[in-house]
Structures are given as C-alpha cells and as structure tokens.
Amino acid sequence: MTLRTYSRTDLIDPLPGQHFIDGKWRNSADGRTFETIDPSTEAVLAIVARGDAIDIDAAVRAAHRALRGDWGGLSPADRGRLLFRLAELLESEAERFALLETLDVGKPVKEALGDIRGVCATLRYNAGAADKMEGATIPLGRDFVDFTMLEPVGVTGHIVPWNYPLGMVARSVAPALAAGCTVVIKPAEQSPLTALAFAELCQRAGLPDGVVNVVAGFGEDAGAALVSHPLVRGITFTGSVETGRKIYAGAAQGLKPVVLELGGKNPMVVFEDADLERAAFDALDGAFGNSGQVCSSSSRFLLHRSIREEFLDRLAAGAARLTVGRGLDNCDLGPLVSKEQHAKVRSYIDEGRATGAAVRLGGGRPKGLETGYFVEPTIFDGVDPASRLSREEIFGPVAVALSFDTAADALAMANGLGFGLVAGVYSRDISRALAFARDVEAGSVWINGWFIGGVQAPTGGIKESGVGRERGLPGIRNYFNIKNIGIRL
C-alpha cells in the first residue's frame, strides 16, 4: 500500500484542540482540556478542549439558529447536493483522515482507509435519499383530503463511540442532515480528532454555520448536558448498556426519541453440515477485526460437537498467522484503544484462566510490543456457559467456544443472554438456517456469512442491545416527525 507521506504537522497541528461551534473553533468556556493518547505508543497526541454544559448550550443554540435560518430554507435536493459535495471532499482527503484515525484509535491504516470509504458511501446514500422521503395520502372519502408531511425533528444530539469514530458519526449524522436536522456531536473522549476534522470539512463543503457542531469531552459533563438540553429533540447513542440506560432515562425526562445501539455477545452458530472453511474464515474477521472492538463481533462460537475440533483447529491456525503491531505498521491487528480497555480485557483473560477455561490460542501480550495497549488474538475453549467470559461483552480480541448437540440446544444458548444485536448461522440446509433465523432473538441474522450488509441494510438490537434501527431508509426516518393534515372539502 502506497500512501502519501503525512507529517504530524499535516495531521495534528491543523486541529487547534478546540470545539467546533457555529462554524468557529472555540475554547471550552472554563478553559479545561484533556489529552488524547496514541494507543500504539501511549504518547500524547493532542490536547483537546473539555466541554461542559455551557459549551453544549452554545452548540445547541447555534444548531437551533441554523435550523431556523439558511439550512431550514434549503430544499431536500439542495441538502443532498451538499452531502454529495462533502463525500467528494472527504474522499479526496481519505488518507489524511485514515491516518488521523489510526493515530487516535490504533487500528491499522488499511482498516482505517476502509472505514473512511464507508463514510463516503454513507454520505452518498443519504444524499441520494434526501429528496425521496415522501408522505402519504389517507383515503377518508370524497369529502376529505388527508395527507402526511415529513418534517425534521429539529436539533439532534449524537454521542458516538471510539471504535469507529468517524464511521459512527456518519452513520447517524448523515441521515439527520438528509432529513433537514442540525446536529451536535459529542465524540468519545478517547478518539475526538476525526470528528473535529469532519466538522471543519462540513463547513468547507458549504454547509451553513451551526449545522454541524462538535463538542469534545466526557459523558458526565458534555454527554449528559446534551441529552438534557431542552432544544435537543432527538438523541442517538452507541455504547455500553449501562450508559445507554442512563441516556434513555435522561431523554425520557424531555420525552425525546432515542436510537440506542448497546452492544452484544453475538453467537456464531456452526452446524455439522456447515462449510467449515468458510465459517472459520469469517470467524477470523468477525472475532478479531478491529481487535475485537466491534459491537457485532462474533465473540461467541456455538459449535456442533461433531465439528468442534476441526473448526477450532482451522480458526486457531488462521489466528496464529495474524500479525499484531502499531497502526502505522499496517499489521492485521492494532492495539486496544486505551489503558482502561486494555486492563478490562486482560481481566477477562485472567478470570478465564482462573476459572479453568482452556486457552486454545493467545492470552498474552505480543512479543516485542512492551509499550502500547496490545493483546494477542485469544481463543478460549471449555468455557463454563454460566461464566462472565461466556455471558458478558469483552470488546477485545477474545472469543469463546461452546458446544451443542441439537438445534434446540443451540437456539436456547443463543437466546439465553440479555443481548440481541446480531447472530449468525452456518449450514448448507437453508431451511434449517431460515428456521433458526426466524427464532433467534437478534436485530440482524446472517446466514453463511458475517458482517453481511452495508449502508442500505438496517441494523440495531433488541433486548439489552438497544432500541431503534440505523442505516437504510429506516435510519433516515428516525429524524422525521410525521405531521397529518386533514381538509374538509
């Protein structure tokens, strides 16, 4: 892979470490800052403004003015053209954004480039849909005309996670803009840099001041203030179940709609007639892509007893070939995002060993990487189904294997947790696979593949995995109110 050479001056210095509010860079109201860390080296990348309720208020009021100003007067087609322009600008600077993401999050450059291309696709999909969201006529009889109009909900708040910093911004911000909303983004404190750079790019693309605002900071300061602000009329959040519950409760005080994706412990169910080569290949990316820091990772393998050993042999052989290193070195896996996440994942590995689970592969720090938040790809076998290792989301390159004998056993195991984000089933018997897909409790079910779908396919969870759907046309409808108008003739 040949990349243009970017220096720190190219990547970091153009970002002043301030919030982006109403088209301008601004310090925090109280002058506070925090450090963002390169997880590959543990060195400080940048000093960033730490926002609080005062900064959030300034951003929300700027978004509210923009909603009532030039942005609100644009036609849907004009909004779409601006989003297309934004995608073109981002595509022209894809390498810069990818390298910035790599430094801030640690993921390999090739993975970050793929993420940026996905953001461009997300912007274009929603740009194309902006002038195609239609109301309906209601048949009340000859003496009436009744119809619905779609109106933007207003100012929306977007609290995004650190695993795909810009991708998660685009997943909710692009449809909100397509619908005519204005936005305030609160990026994760571990990874604020690409969100800040994106806001400035939106201005360069021609979006009016105040349409896209970014306030960096922590959940207890900036996030809570965004959820509770009376001018914010919709909230989108991706993150932990615990934080999601707090946001849900906070939004309920203002009767605001929410979209929550709260993670999962996703089962990959492999039957005895499955294509094991295909399943093991998919499991590598599903379990270890982005160092396992993926809500929809295949973190729980449910294996028919008759093929368990062959599947695990194939998976372990593939995982043993994965390279681990600094994001800029473009290995297969980078580090975990932070010291705290590294400690959390290590604690699960230690607990797995202490409770008697067998380490099929990995379990330690890669050799030669004494600095940085690195963990080897790790596979546990012989795991107690009741253990924390089997039941809780680890969010690292750690997968667990359990066995089943019948389809009923597999279904009970798959549905036995509070999560319900995604599930996968591998079988050459499509009737059995479809029956399993019908009965498994998950927002998305993938048959003979993993990470199936794209920006067009709705995604989201049930049970503790969340509320609502993102992507596709349902993702845009999150940001509309339906107004009914009736006329007596």
User: Does residue 209 surpass a pLDDT of 90?
Assistant: yes
Grouping H, G, I as helix, E, B as strand and the rest as coil, residue 439 is: helix
User: Does residue 85 surpass a pLDDT of 90?
Assistant: yes
Q: Looking at residues 83-97, what average pLDDT do you find?
A: 97
61 token code pair: 């009021």
Strands (E) in 195-246, as ranges, are: 212-214, 232-238
Q: Phi, psi (5° rounding) for residue 484?
A: -100, 135
471 token code pair: 């992507």
Q: Which residues are identified as catalytic?
A: 261, 295
pTM: 0.96
Match 């929550």 to its residue by tokens: 260
Alpha-carbon separation of residue 382 from 213, 359, 401, 416 (angstroms)? 49, 9, 7, 18
Summarised one tens digit per residue, pLDDT across range 158-180 is 999 999 999 999 999 999 999 99
Query: What is the band of 471 on the pLDDT scale with cuts at 50, 70, 90?
Result: very high
Strands of the sheet with 137-138, listed across from one edge = 137-138, 144-152, 480-488
* Cβ–Cβ < 8 Å for 101, 87: no
Residue 423 bridge partners (DSSP): 445
Q: Looking at residues 465-487, what average pLDDT do you find?
A: 98
Summarised one tens digit per residue, pLDDT across range 427-452 is 999 999 999 999 999 999 999 999 99
Residues composing the chain: 489
* Cβ–Cβ < 8 Å for 209, 262: no
Element (H, E) at 25: strand 24-26
Alpha-carbon separation of residue 416 from 261, 405, 408 (angstroms)? 19, 16, 12
What pLDDT, on the 0 to 100 scale, is given for residue 54?
A: 98
Enter the DSSP assignment of 120.
H
Nearest to 16 by CA among 41, 1, 3, 33: 33
CA 149 from chain centre, in angstroms, equals 30
What pLDDT, on the 0 to 100 scale, is given for residue 11?
A: 86
Match 């050459």 to its residue by tokens: 428
Match 């650190």 to its residue by tokens: 162
Give me the half-sphere count of Cα atoms (radius 13 Å) on the Cβ side of residue 91. Answer: 13
Kindly report the number of other CB atoms within 10 A of residue 362's CB atom: 23
Query: What is the band of 309 on the pLDDT scale with cuts at 50, 70, 90?
Result: very high
* Cβ–Cβ < 8 Å for 120, 12: no
Grouping H, G, I as helix, E, B as strand and the rest as coil, residue 408 is: helix
In the chain, % helix, strand, coil (3-state, to 5) comes to: 40, 20, 35
CA distance 337 to 340: 8
54 token code pair: 């005062």
* Percent of the chain clearing pLDDT 70 (strictly above): 98
